[in-house]
Homo-oligomer: A and B are copies of this chain.
Amino acid sequence: MVATIGAAQYVAVDWGTSSFRLWLIGRDGAVLAERRSGDGMTTAAKTGFETVLQSHLDAISAPAGLPVIVCGMAGARQGWVEAGYLDTPAALADIVHAAVPVPGINRDVRILPGLAQRDPAAADVLRGEETQLLGAGDILLSGDHLVCMPGTHSKWVRVAQGVVTGFSTFMTGELFDAISKHTILSHTVGDGGSFDGTHPAFVAAVKQIRDNPALATNRLFSVRAGQLLHALPATDGKARLSGTLIGLEIAGALSTVDAGGGLCLVASGPLGALYRAAFAAFNLDPILIDADDAVRHGLASAARALWPQ
């Protein structure tokens, strides 16, 4: 069967801080067209969200009047239209009911809310990951799960019988960037090539921080000292920095909750492989859920609830 544009049902958009992804979806969830760009919230806040969305719709010749479901930073206070936060404990099934319509626009656009944990001692927020959880499939609807969602701000979410009971954010990805570019380690890791979870420096760093997380900022400096005293190659330094931060995240998350119930890893590509390798150093073997698929399935799930066919 060849899907045609004429069969389009709705448009799904994952609108992050620095990235924009759009899918034109047909009957039965078939992807008819896809767009990926750097028109994230930061860019769109200047250009105009409606203008950015329309330009991508025009580029794929999307039929006029199709409804659009959006998740991510477009719903932040500094985004397009604020789509608040649903407070924990929050049933995944309730997320869609809190979608906020965009007013004054010539089509039906709804933005999904984020989640908030208001306890002042553990205040936390997420936005975008709720849609991935919604799209992770039936696995989360029964039993207890601990879901690791790595990224710029990694989220660790506790889900019990389809209800998000709590979560914690770790600044892993953003710290990796800031430390690589804006500290003395920039001289050491700046020219480093790519590495993966089998790199000995990565695995060793994960194990070292697992055994003593308190030494985190000392382990970071050891990357610089290793270069000065032992000519540590840039790629090894980068792998050690990454292993230290990812290992610290896992050690921290596991220090407050038990992963015994069932551990899921929602990630894609090389990042997913890196986290799997780090989990192996903790003797953990999470169920892998593809993050790209999850967000699209979550948007589809919301669209089906909002606009039954």
Binding site for B on A (CB under 8 A): 77, 85, 116-118, 120, 122-125, 153, 168-172, 174-175, 177-179, 181-184, 212-218, 220-222, 225-226, 228-230, 245, 248-249, 251-253, 255-256
Contacts and interface: CB of A to CB of B under 8 A. Distances in A.
A228 to B, nearest CB: 6
B184 A182 contact: no
Copies of this protein chain in the complex: 2
A230 B217 CA distance: 29
Contact of A255 (B122, B125, B212, B220): B212
A175 B183 contact: yes
Contacts of A125: 225, 228-229
Given A182-B181, A222-B122, A226-B120, A251 B214 contact: yes
Given A175-B220, A213-B216, A214-B248, 6 more contacts: A85-B229, A123-B226, A124-B221, A125-B228, A178-B182, A218-B252
A231 to B, nearest CB: 11
A229 B123 contact: yes
Which of A116, A183, A255 has the largest number of chain B CB atoms within 10 A? A183
23 contacts: A77-B228, A85-B229, A116-B229, A123-B228, A123-B229, A123-B230, A124-B221, A124-B222, A125-B229, A153-B221, A168-B215, A171-B183, A171-B217, A171-B218, A175-B217, A178-B182, A178-B183, A182-B182, A212-B255, A214-B252, A215-B256, A216-B248, A217-B245
Contacts of A220: 171, 175
Most buried by B among A77, A85, A214, A225: A214
A110 B216 CA distance: 36
A225 B123 contact: yes
A123 B222 contact: yes
Nearest to A250: B214
A230 B184 CA distance: 34
A215 B169 CA distance: 10
A218 B214 CA distance: 13
A226 B122 CA distance: 9
A70 B128 CA distance: 55
Contacts of A228: 77, 123, 125
Contacts of A179: 175, 178
Contact of A221 (B120, B170, B226): B170
A160 B268 CA distance: 51
The 3 nearest A-B residue pairs measured at CB? A213-B214, A214-B252, A169-B221
A153 to B, nearest CB: 6
A35 to B, nearest CB: 26
Nearest to A116: B229
Nearest to A247: B214
A172 B230 contact: no
Contact of A170 (B168, B184, B218): B218
